[in-house]
A and B are shown apart, each in its own frame.
Chain A
Amino acid sequence: MAASVILEPCHKATDDTTDNAAASVIASLCSVTKKFGPQIALDRLSLELRQGEVVALLGPNGAGKTTAVRLLLGLSEATSGEVSIFGGNPRDRASRLRLGAMLQVGRMPETLRVREHLQLFSSYYVHPRPLDELLAVAGLEGLQERLFGTLSGGQKQRVLFALALCGDPDLICLDEPTLGMDVEARRAMWEQVSRLAARGKTILLTTHYLEEADALASRIIVIQKGKVIAEGTPKELKAADSSRTIRCTTSLQPSFVSALPGVTSVQQDGNTMLVRTPAPETVLRTMLERDPALSGLEVRAAALDDAFLALTNQTTAVTR
């Protein structure tokens, strides 16, 4: 199976916005190791962001997603390896002027109005986006005079999103951007992210919602234990997981089905049976022979969740 782990030579991020824009690398982590004392958070990890891409960083908790984002933002320094943004150091003001970040913030000053928060952040940049535009993009119209402390959780998230966009940045890092949002607000934000990408902006997002990565990302990077274990488009990652799920109602015993050659797992859910196998045809032939009354048959390809689980479980098994 194995989604291909793409090992590329490290390119230094170049500030090349004029020609060949689609392929130019604007930010990169090159063989970066980050240690916290004896604990290794990132292990010679390399990744590249190219202009106009929406890249989703996926991985179980503690995989190193946030560490990677913090290194890219210059909030933390690599133990070894190289971090480069627009051909420079992320801590340079010139880099930060082209960078926007939405981080996970527990609380922020509650006695400032939405408008005032945006005004202050906008004043940090040379060419800020107009206030009206920011309010529209983040869906904050009509809320500009509200004190931050009086907003709902989802509205607060949207203010953080607007703060990331204040400087009209070329690279936008979003750490769990839709956490605490309802479905409608989440879809509205997805649309804005797609629009930013269409304007040539590069977006890096970390998320727990696989649906979000599937809907938004042009490329997904799966990290586990500080290493990239897979990288590709959502379609490629799904294809890499070649197993199918058979769903049916049958009188066959789960123990019998799980003993059939090629079956990876069997799950009994009421009178519905879920069988995972890379060879659905062979398995089904036997099942139909043994149970002519088998009904409600459905065979589906792996969803991104399955691909993700298969990837992370597999490497866990290998490292044991």
Chain B
Amino acid sequence: MAGALTERDFVQKLERAGFVEIEVLERTPMGIDDCALYPLFTKELLAIMRDVIPAERLDRIGVCAIIRARRA
């Protein structure tokens, strides 16, 4: 999650790489409870996230975007 781009940056990088017809087809919020499903999120990290991320953001820490694009 620390390496995630904003959707805008992701789309810009796709454009620069030579992709066209870029569509964001789904956006699904990912909250702290979703993160907890993944063993990659350690208990320590989850505790830090609960501690330092504002409560109003905990149900939308990130967004899973599904993006389709065509190579020009």
- Decide whether A and B are members of one complex: no
Q: Which residues of A contact B (CB under 8 A)?
A: none
Q: Which residues of B contact A (CB under 8 A)?
A: none
